[in-house]
A = this chain, B = another copy of it.
């Protein structure tokens, strides 16, 4: 990871230019070539940066991708509160699908979830700082506060049941669903959890 906690007292400071170049390179290469075709060597060349500079700040392409995606994700997943809980949840579902299927950060997220199945380090990375969870937690929290979900709702389970089916479809490249579909999806989610 590139976030340096303490500032080193001495030596040439890290080049922010190089950092940005790497993050942009990774972002673009993911879309153009896909995760598997990306290499540390290729990233360095694309960014116009030495390989050592990349390794100095990130230990794998997954880590770079995670940082690049995190920067955009919170902004892209922001779902403003709607009038009522069904609308709120349905809007969030649509936002999430759009994020996962069209956004650069969303593609990165899917690649990272995939990679996490092969590499425990990546699994730890996304579990320590999941891009999607916070937004899902927020929308469920709103429903609880409105009284549309019981106060006893287990947050982890609720997130899994809200996000899981969406991720399942997206990871399998299922065809897009209609707006009405997500409206009914939100309703089922609420109905199943009515006390």
Provide the bound-state CA to CA distance between A187 and B193, in Å: 9
Q: How large is the interface on A (under 10, 10 to 19, 20 to 34, 35 or more residues)?
A: 35 or more
Provide the bound-state CA to CA distance between A192 and B35, in Å: 37
B residues near A160, Cβ cutoff 8 Å: 165, 168-169, 174
Q: Do A164 and B168 have beta carbons less than 8 Å apart?
A: yes
Chain B CB within 8 A of A171 CB: yes
B residues near A123, Cβ cutoff 8 Å: 172-173
Considering only residues 149-195 of chain A, those with a C-beta below 8 Å from chain B are 156-157, 160-161, 163-169, 171-174, 181, 185, 187-194
Partner of A117, one of B111, B119, B169, B174: B111
B residues near A48, Cβ cutoff 8 Å: none
Copies of this chain, complex-wide, total: 4
B residues near A188, Cβ cutoff 8 Å: 161, 192-193
Across the A-B interface, give the 3 residue pairs with the lowest CB-CB distance, nearest first: A114-B117, A192-B192, A164-B168
Smallest CB gap from A190: residue in B:
B192
Considering only residues 110-132 of chain A, those with a C-beta below 8 Å from chain B are 110-111, 113-119, 123, 126-127
5 contacts between A and B (CB under 8 A): A114-B114, A114-B118, A160-B169, A163-B168, A168-B168
Chain B CB within 8 A of A83 CB: no
Provide the bound-state CA to CA distance between A168 and B160, in Å: 6
Chain B CB within 8 A of A9 CB: no
Q: Do A115 and B118 have beta carbons less than 8 Å apart?
A: yes
